[in-house]
Each structure stands twice: as structure tokens, then as C-alpha cells.
Amino acid sequence: MSDNTASCRNVNENPCHMCMPMGGILPFKGVEGAMVIIHGSQGCSTYMRRHIAEHFNEPVDVASSSLNEKGTIYGGDKNLKQGLDNLIKLYKPELIGILTTCLAETIGEDIDRIAGEYLQERGIGDYPLVTVPTPGYGGTHAEGYWLALKSIVARLGRRTGKWAGINVLVPNISPADIREIKRILRLMEVRFTLCPDFSDTLDSPFKRPYKKMPEGGTKPADIAAMPGAMATIQLGMAVEDGSSPGKYLEKEFGVPLFNLPVPMGIENTDLFMATLRQLTGKSMPECLERERGRLLDCMIDSHKYNFQGRSVIFGDPEQVYAVAGLCMENGIFPVVAATGGKGSKLPGLLKVRLAQSPVKCEILTAADFAGIKEKSKKMKANIAIGHSDGKYLTERDDIPLVRLGFPIHDRVGGQRLLSVGYAGTTMLLDRITNTLLENKQSKYRAAMYDRFYQNSEQYSHH
């Protein structure tokens, strides 16, 4: 096992991440009545809207302060305040997130000061503006996601009375995954506040008339009550403490924190269920027991095909860690595990998780796809698991890709991919196994010819 990074190259080629404000937008899309304004150039917000909309196949509105040359030189106060005026007038949001870009941060814009002045000047001092510094060069979209979520919890959280429920903080998983986690919580009869909840806002049913702001999301009042919860389950083992909303609630309000992996794979899902039983004292319902049994049956059915799998796993740290566990359980031993960021606990977690693997695994941080491709070829990977940018591996080295995570741009239905819990893991394992089978069967005749017939033909000529 070794640590490797892409930092030895001067520039990244096809980096394995997107910019910080891209991820920072998503938690706000999971809060009821919330909108986002990007303090920066118009092009930044347009790019992010398009990128997110292509993954979720939903309209995604993001406002912009449209910072131009004049604002860059003399300051963008006027642009941001006018943008907030327009945003409030058109959308009437209950909460507004203010995110920065590279340009705003480089010229030293103080969005806390500007937001404070705006509230005072407009006479709306109690209006919830949530400021999040998210320069593109400050980190990855995954780091922007967690920082924005922590900022939301810190801005809205209040010292209120205790309540017999738990907070559930989720990473950037699909709307289908969020719905599955909520289904499990309800089956366990748990009182909970899940945040952020974009299971409806970024995967909404078709309705008429069209609404500028889709229904759904975690209610701001429920976020305000989070400091009174009996515990927090944060599906964010790899996130740094400084960006962790769960760690914030523990430190500031004394809410016990259970930091767990995403419930993907039998071991991770069992841990999630065990934690729920510990907190509630309730046993697993029969329907979930049966789903667990079906997953075990799926593992038995597929193990004879999976033992030849050597996986390259890439994407957000939480996803990489969870998928690595699923692969280990099924003999698809990881040979490359990569993430675009460098500020997470992922390498240390993976070293422990993969310590019993019979196959060496290269762990890449601050990775790009040129580096991932190089290591995947060296380690003889034959399956890739990650988002659509991994098609680079298929195009260059013919490594088949199982699409998972964010973004998925070259297929439809990324928002409906279910991969968590016992039922979701079964579906994901089927996708992985079938990809291995398809790849093997499509090359079977050619491999047999090369192995047995070509040599005999050459021998017969002599």
C-alpha cells in the first residue's frame, strides 16, 4: 500500500474533482425555500447551473452578482446587494446562500461585511443570509459541499429544548439514495431530521404549473432545532473536523456524534443499522431482514464472477471509502483508489480498510485522470467505479466503467441510481458483476484465439 499524488506534475490533466462552489450549491438545494447567489462573474454561475442540471435532469436556478471589470477594481458591494434585491423580489426565498468564486476571493471581497451591511440597510436584520467562502482554488466540490452544510447548520442552529430524535447528515449522494435512507429510518420508527434533503427538489415529479422553487427540502425550523437532538449520525467519515457539521454540533451544543461510512455494502449497512438500534432500542423490522438476506444471496450468486475483478475506484472521499468496502466484501479487490482532494482523512481510512487485501492498492490524492490512468494500467485494473469523467479510462485503456456518484453526464437517470442500504447495495453489486461479465464475454473469443489457436497456427507453419 502506498500514498501517491498527482502533485508531481505542474498541472492537472482532467482533474478528478470540480470547483468548491459547485459542491457548495447542493446543500442549499436541500433546504426548503432556499436559493443561492454566486458572488463572481456571470459565467461561473452559468457553468455550475448547467453542470448540475445535466446530472439531475432538473432545472437548477442559481443567481449571480455578475461581477465585471469595474466591480473587480472598485469592489463588488453594489453588484452583490443589487443581486440580492433582485433575488428576493423574484423568488421570495426563506434563506439565501452567498457563495464566492475565485475572482471574488482573489480581490479580497468580505462577504460577511457586505451581507451585514445589506441586512442593516434594508432593515431586515433577522433575514437568514448564509455566507460561505468557496474559491475554486480553495478545495474540491466535496469540500465545498461539507463547508456549505456546516455553514447552514451554524447559521440556523439555536439552543432549544431537547427532543427525542436524531440528526442525519448526508454527503452528496443521489436523491434515490436519500429516499432510501429516509425509508429505513421510518421503518425503524426513528424521529429524525435529515439534512440536506434534495430527494424532491433535485428529482421532482412532473407538475403543472411550473414553480420557480420546487417543493421539498429540510425545513429551516427543523435545522434550527438540530442542537437539541439526542445524537447526530453523520455519513462523513473522511471529512475534516473543520468542515464537519456533526463535529460543530458536538463541540458547540454537546450533541453526541456517530461518524459513519455511507451504508453501502453489508458491513457498512450493518453498522448503520446497529447504530440505529443502539440509539432507539428498536430491532430491525422483518422487511429489512429479508432485504439483508437477499443481499447475502446476491453475494453468493456473484462471487464466482467477481474474484477476477481488480477495481479502480474514484470520486468523492465518502463514496470511494464505501465502494472500497463493498469491493473487498466481494473479492473485487481495489488496485487504485483516487480522489481529487487532498484535505480528507481518506488515505488513513483506506489503509486500515484494505490492510487485509491480498492485492496491493495505490491510493491517490489530489488526483487527475492522467495519473489514475497510469496507475490503473500499471496495476492491471479491469473495472472502474465512479462518475462519468472516468470514461477517459474506457476510451484510453478499455477499462469498463460502472457509473456512480456525481456528475453523470453521458447517461440519463443519475438522480435515480440507488446504491445504499441492503436493497441499493444489491442493485449496485449486480451492476458491477454484470459489467465484469459483459467485458469478459465480449472479449472471450478473441482471448481464446490468442491463447490457443494463434500459437498453434504459427507452430504449424514451421
Q: How confident is the model over 96-144, as pLDDT tens digits?
A: 999 999 999 999 999 999 999 999 999 999 999 999 999 989 999 999 9
Closest CA to 311 of 277, 362, 371: 362
- One-letter amino acid at 204 equals S
Tell me the fold of 20-138.
Rossmann fold (3.40.50)
- List C-alpha distances in Å: 362 to 1, 5, 25, 66, 397: 6, 10, 32, 43, 18
3-state DSSP call for residue 2?
Answer: strand
Q: Is the pLDDT of residue 319 over 80?
A: yes
Q: Is the pLDDT of residue 11 over 80?
A: no
**Predicted local confidence at residue 110, as pLDDT:** 95
Exposure string over 61-75, b if 16+ CB within 10 A, otherwise e: bbbbbbbeeebbeeb
pLDDT above 70: percentage of residues in the chain = 93
Q: Is the pLDDT of residue 460 over 70?
A: no
**Predicted local confidence at residue 2, as pLDDT:** 45
Question: Sheet harboring 401-403: ordered strands across?
Answer: 2-5, 362-365, 333-338, 310-314, 383-386, 401-403
Q: What are phi and psi of 164, to 5 degrees?
A: -85, 65
Q: Is the pLDDT of residue 239 over 50?
A: yes
Rounded Cα–Cα distance for residues 201 and 416 (Å): 13
Q: Is the pLDDT of residue 382 over 60?
A: yes
Length of the chain, in residues? 462
Cβ-count burial of 454 within 10 angstroms (0-12 exposed, 13-18 middle, 19+ buried)? Answer: exposed
**Predicted local confidence at residue 447, as pLDDT:** 59
CATH number of 292-445: 3.40.50.1980
Q: Which run of H or of E encompasses 99?
A: strand 95-100
Report residue 94's pLDDT band, with 50, 70 and 90 as the boundaries: very high
Report residue 47's pLDDT band, with 50, 70 and 90 as the boundaries: very high
3-state DSSP call for residue 35?
Answer: strand
pLDDT above 90: percentage of residues in the chain = 86
Q: Is the pLDDT of residue 50 over 80?
A: yes
State the span(s) of the chain assigned CATH 3.40.50.1980: 20-138, 166-280, 292-445
Q: Is the pLDDT of residue 46 over 70?
A: yes
- CATH architecture designation of domain 166-280: 3-Layer(aba) Sandwich (3.40)
Model confidence, pTM: 0.93
Q: Give bridge partners of residue 47 from the DSSP assignment.
A: none
Rounded Cα–Cα distance for residues 27 and 4 (Å): 31
Question: Sheet harboring 231-234: ordered strands across?
Answer: 192-195, 166-169, 231-234, 257-259
Q: Is the pLDDT of residue 6 over 50?
A: no
C-alpha cell of 151? 455553514
C-alpha cell of 141? 466540490
**Which segment of 47-51, 213-217, 453-457 scores lowest on mean pLDDT?**
453-457
Report residue 1's pLDDT band, with 50, 70 and 90 as the boundaries: very low
| Average pLDDT of span 326-355 | 95
Exposure string over 265-283, b if 16+ CB within 10 A, otherwise e: bbbbbebbbebbeebbeee
Report residue 7's pLDDT band, with 50, 70 and 90 as the boundaries: very low
Across the chain, mean pLDDT equals: 93
Cβ-count burial of 286 within 10 angstroms (0-12 exposed, 13-18 middle, 19+ buried)? Answer: exposed
Q: Is the pLDDT of residue 445 over 70?
A: no
**Which segment of 64-68, 229-233, 295-299 scores lowest on mean pLDDT?**
64-68
**Predicted local confidence at residue 440, as pLDDT:** 84
3-state DSSP call for residue 98?
Answer: strand
Rounded Cα–Cα distance for residues 199 and 205 (Å): 11
C-alpha cell of 236? 462523513
